[in-house]
């Protein structure tokens, strides 16, 4: 058995089955134990509950029954490194409001996982987070108390075990043995016994049987979809409404939820004029299909790439690349030297925007309200040419005051500048990035969105106050929720200070073209939607995971009157 517990019981199958890399999946101890157990079965009648050594049979049908592979003295009493990483990340997410994508790399490095074990830990963690709601529905059938009464560490272990039993190609005995060993090592012997009993009950049904049972308990189609696709009911309802609001069929909801539950491939971007994807291509990366300067990378740790360590190449979703380029490349009359990113943290879009601006002699002011995140922005912008950018710290709603008082504006930029291009990437629910941050679906509530709406509108108004007449303002949010997208656009237009442009055309313009010279974002992939039938030339743009393979990024481009 490898550290991930991926193997088969039985010496013959275990010795014959090997991975593509040639690693044996079954350890010597398990091979010997399996041989011993087979001997025990020959000496015991099928009607007995225990074998000759006193090991209790698994509670399965008689033709499926098997004995525990290990005597008490040989049972796993500590966590294997891969599962320990998954447990630590899940706990950080549950108890510290951490993001898995930020905690995972640190934990993998701390436990020195090799490429294979790191892959197992990543799949175990993200798969469990994505399907947490579904697994909770299963666990409820196997415990005698409400889940909220179960200690968080125990619940985390149960969820990890359920994912292995229901959705991963991990043999049941390995999933049980290793998860219980994890519990003994990090929680305690008593809780480990409880976890063992619960997971054995989970293992009594197949994945298909569990799905049929969970579906049968749904009161309506919406709840059935929420349970089986593992999204909160309110999110399913909001996504179905968002599809309709942005010109899509609500029937696409199945595809959208399925896309949310798929692990995304890492997207890379080269900073224009500074970076190159050649090193990544040499390591197996393939060129992206939507926008220039991007690539898909599935060859492991990005830290192995020197260009990534230097910061001239970085991971960034294609949706983010498209909206940054759309703002930078949109036609603009008059001066084009002063650019602003109002909510720049942690700095990904700001770096791409700054690099594009530097090629044309433009200077970027990157503002971030949080001092900690402002440091991240500074680190992200460091590869850019000196003098082409500056980072300021202040509440975005008070950007006029922040810029007026700042003493470190880029050289040559006058006091109290009025900007030519402004990015307003507002704080949002993040519902458009559930592929990358699956834990967000279990944290957010409709109330969270309601609380964000006034801030989003106020940030746009502040951006407009420092934009010159004729300048461009991009309203961007990683959410398809109608309240954060079309409703905000309607509120913005009601004030009369700006006009909505053809945002869809701006996005199509920066996308790659096919052999005929047509944008790859044309036809069925056209992200455009005209919110006002009387003005079809005024559009917004909404990207979708199930249509474009990107985060659900929303983009609306305005011109200051």
Catalytic residues: 478
Residue 228 to residue 212: CA distance in whole angstroms: 10
**Known binding-site positions for S-adenosyl-L-methionine:** 343-349, 368, 395, 425
- Residue 340 buriedness (CB in 10 A; 0-12 / 13-18 / 19+): buried
Is 276 within 8 Å of 270 (Cβ atoms)? yes
Is 91 within 8 Å of 107 (Cβ atoms)? no
Structure tokens at 78: 């500590």
Is 517 within 8 Å of 395 (Cβ atoms)? no
Q: Name every residue whose Cβ is closer than 8 Å to that of residue 321 and which is 6 or more positions away in sequence.
A: 267, 269, 291, 293, 294, 352
Residue 430 to residue 307: CA distance in whole angstroms: 28
Alpha-carbon distances, residue 486 vs 457, 483, 533, 545, 546 (angstroms): 12, 7, 14, 19, 20
Is 343 within 8 Å of 528 (Cβ atoms)? no
**Known binding-site positions:** 343-349, 368, 395, 425
Element (H, E) at 147: none
Structure tokens at 255: 């595809």
**Bridge partners, residue 268, by sequence:** 295, 315
Residue 83 to residue 335: CA distance in whole angstroms: 56
Q: Name every residue whose Cβ is closer than 8 Å to that of residue 549 and which is 6 or more positions away in sequence.
A: 290, 318
User: In degrees rounded to 5, what are phi and psi of residue 46?
Assistant: -65, -25
DSSP 196-217: HHHHHHHHTS-HHHHHHHHHHT
DSSP secondary structure letter of residue 484: T
Structure tokens at 93: 């997410």
């Amino acid at each position: 058995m490898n550290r991930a517990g991926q193997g088969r019981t039985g010496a013959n199958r275990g010795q014959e089955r090997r991975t593509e890399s040639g690693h044996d999946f079954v350890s010597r101890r398990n091979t010997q134990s399996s041989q011993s157990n087979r001997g025990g079965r020959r000496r015991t009648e099928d009607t007995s509950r225990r074998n000759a050594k006193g090991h209790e049979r698994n509670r399965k049908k008689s033709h499926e029954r098997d004995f525990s592979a290990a005597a008490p003295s040989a049972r796993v009493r500590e966590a294997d490194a891969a599962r320990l990483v998954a447990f630590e990340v899940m706990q950080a997410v549950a108890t510290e409001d951490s993001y898995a994508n930020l905690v995972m790399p640190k934990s993998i490095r701390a436990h020195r996982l090799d490429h294979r074990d790191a892959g197992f830990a990543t799949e175990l963690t993200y798969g469990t987070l994505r399907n947490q709601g579904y697994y909770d529905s299963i666990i409820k059938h196997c415990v005698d108390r409400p889940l909220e009464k179960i200690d968080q560490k125990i619940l985390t272990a149960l969820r990890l075990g359920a994912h292995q039993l229901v959705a991963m190609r991990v043999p049941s005995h390995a999933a049980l043995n290793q998860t219980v060993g994890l519990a003994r090592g990090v929680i305690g012997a008593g809780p480990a016994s409880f976890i063992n009993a619960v997971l054995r009950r989970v293992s009594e049904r197949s994945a298909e049987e569990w799905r049929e049972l969970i579906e049968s308990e749904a009161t309506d189609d919406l709840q059935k979809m929420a349970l089986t696709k593992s999204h909160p009911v309110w999110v399913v309802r909001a996504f179905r409404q968002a599809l309709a609001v942005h010109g899509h069929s609500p029937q696409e909801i199945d595809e959208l939820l399925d896309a949310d539950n798929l692990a995304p491939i890492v997207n890379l971007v080269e900073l224009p004029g500074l970076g190159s994807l050649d090193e990544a291509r040499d390591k197996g990366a393939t060129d992206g299909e939507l926008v220039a300067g991007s690539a898909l990378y599935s060859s492991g740790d990005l830290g192995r790439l020197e260009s990534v360590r230097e910061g001239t190449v970085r991971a960034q979703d294609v949706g983010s690349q498209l909206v940054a380029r759309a703002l930078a490349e949109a036609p603009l009359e008059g001066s084009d030297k002063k650019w602003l990113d109002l909510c720049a943290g942690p700095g990904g879009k700001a770096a791409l925007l700054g690099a594009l601006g530097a090629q044309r002699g433009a200077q970027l002011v990157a503002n971030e309200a949080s001092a900690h995140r402002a440091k991240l922005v500074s680190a992200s912008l460091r590869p850019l040419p000196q003098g082409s950018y500056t980072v300021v710290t202040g509440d975005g709603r008070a950007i006029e005051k922040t810029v007026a008082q700042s003493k470190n504006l880029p050289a040559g930029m006058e006091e109290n500048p009025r900007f030519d291009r402004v990015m307003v990437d507002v704080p949002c629910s993040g519902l458009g990035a559930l592929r990358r941050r699956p834990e967000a679906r279990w944290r957010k509530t409709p109330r969270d969105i309601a609380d964000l709406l006034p801030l989003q509108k106020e940030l746009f108004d502040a951006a407009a106050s420092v934009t010159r007449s004729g300048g461009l303002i991009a309203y961007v949010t990683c959410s398809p929720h109608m309240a954060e997208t079309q409703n905000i656009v309607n509120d913005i237009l009601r004030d009369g200070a700006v006009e909505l442009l053809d945002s869809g055309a701006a996005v199509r313009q920066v996308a790659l073209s096919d052999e005929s010279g047509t944008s790859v974002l044309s036809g069925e992939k056209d992200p455009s939607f005209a919110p006002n039938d009387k003005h079809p030339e005024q559009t917004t743009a909404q990207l979708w995971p199930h249509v474009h393979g990107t985060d659900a990024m929303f983009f609306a481009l305005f011109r200051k009157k």
